[in-house]
Amino acid sequence: MDRRRLLAGLAAAPLALSACGGGTADAAPVDIPPLKSAAPFPMGVAAMTEQFGEPAWDDLVRSHFDRVTPEWEMKAEAVVDDAGRMTWDRADRVVSSAEQRGLKVFGHTLVWYSQVPRTFAALEGDRRRFELAYGEYVRRVAGRYAGKVVGWDVVNEAVTDDGSGYRADNAWARNLGMDYVRIAFEQARAADPAAPLFLNDYNLEQLPKKRADFLKLAERLLREGAPLGGLGTQTHTPADLAPGEIGRCIRDLASLGLPVHVSELDISLARAGLGDHREGQRRLVGEVVEAVMALPERQRFGITVWGARDKDSWLVREGKRDAPLLFDDDARPKPMAAALVDALKG
């Protein structure tokens, strides 16, 4: 499902959600151990600067997670202004807030088709100057946080949903062809000699053709000798996804032998059909854990949920209603969190 349809569908959410008795009211809160202690791999959460100042969020994240992914502070729209000046303060604040709490940071994202700094417009058509500016941008961002991040989403969402292959409708691909992916990985490695470098995308568990195209791109990078160090599957998924799809996806991604990161997990009730899909959420979070646990330890890069509490979710903004995350609006663990812990016990 492409993003426009996804967000339009959420506009209809109230009906679907109320029909499933959803919203943040779930069955009685449950009691769980700290997720980061129960999981033999890192448990991550999306974080935004202002959330660190909110005690309920702060307490929850420090109790249950060992890693944060800046939800937007390291994206182009946050680190470079329209005049091309680098504006580091927001990303620096997320990194320092995380460090103060002993949380690791996963960088997201160096190159994304949907965020091209305005200064690149003047370079379109001049391949040499465009490539120089592109490489410099990647090196500057990756270089600033070298040694401070435990990995990067180097290129995000390079593959189309409709099965046509690689996204071509963006400044990166228009000016550099698909070499923009390899170049980004090479430049990120030049700036950060150690961080594992990930290729990340969404709907891989829902669209087998997209998953095949994603893996084809990953194999091309490996053939070209690009420093590809991992594969991220965002896993923004509806609660009525058919059984087995997530496991198939993670196994396919793991077939290349690289670490696999479930990088942006949320399980939407609003995107599911009418009816109560909270059991579906519990089933699917169990499937994610089982699939990650079935990987060799060196390939379990971790599970990152795209928000701590339901109200922190990008799917619950501008009045849209959903309950896609592990903790309710009062930071209490939901049955979905208990299902995750149960799956960890095997």
List interacting residues with ligand XIL (CB under 6 A).
71-72, 156, 202, 234, 264, 314
Closest C-alpha among 271, 269, 270, 289 to residue 279: 269
Least CB distance to ligand XIL at residue 314 (A)? 3
- Residues 201 and 252: their CA atoms lie apart, in Å, by 14
Write down the least CB distance from residue 31 to ligand XIL, Å: 29
Q: What's the length of the chain?
A: 346
| Shortest reach from residue 156's CB to ligand XIL, in Å | 5
Q: Collapse the DSSP code of 44 into the 3-class scheme (helix H, G, I; strand E, B; otherwise coil) and give the result.
A: strand
CB-based contacts of 89: which residues, under 8 Å, 6+ apart?
Answer: none
- Measured from the CB atom, is 172 or 202 closer to ligand XIL? 202
Nearer to ligand XIL, 285 or 325 (CB): 325
Please, what is the minimum distance in Å from the beta carbon of residue 237 to ligand XIL?
Answer: 12
Alpha-carbon distances of 157 from 45, 107, 170, 210, 222, rounded to whole Å: 19, 15, 11, 11, 18
The question of whether 157 is a catalytic residue gets the answer yes
Q: How far is the CB of 159 from ligand XIL (least distance, A)?
A: 13
> Which member of 157, 205, 245, 287 is catalytic?
157
Least separation in angstroms between CB 325 and ligand XIL: 12
- Nearest by Cα to 215 from 158, 285, 167, 261: 158
Alpha helix ranges (H) inside 177-331: 179-191, 208-223, 245-254, 278-293
Element (H, E) at 230: strand 230-233
Instruction: Please say which residue, 72 or 120, places its beta carbon nearer to ligand XIL.
Output: 72
Residue 264 or 322 having the CB closest to ligand XIL: 264
Whether 50 sits among the annotated catalytic residues: the reply is no
Q: What residues form DSSP beta bridges with 303?
A: 43, 262
Name the active-site residue from 71, 205, 245, 264: 264
Nearer to ligand XIL, 188 or 338 (CB): 188
Q: Give which of 210, 292, 197, 296 is closest to 250, Cα–Cα.
A: 292
In the chain, alpha helices (H) = 3-11, 13-19, 35-38, 55-64, 76-79, 89-100, 127-144, 171-176, 179-191, 208-223, 245-254, 278-293, 335-345
User: Catalytic positions, please?
Assistant: 157, 264
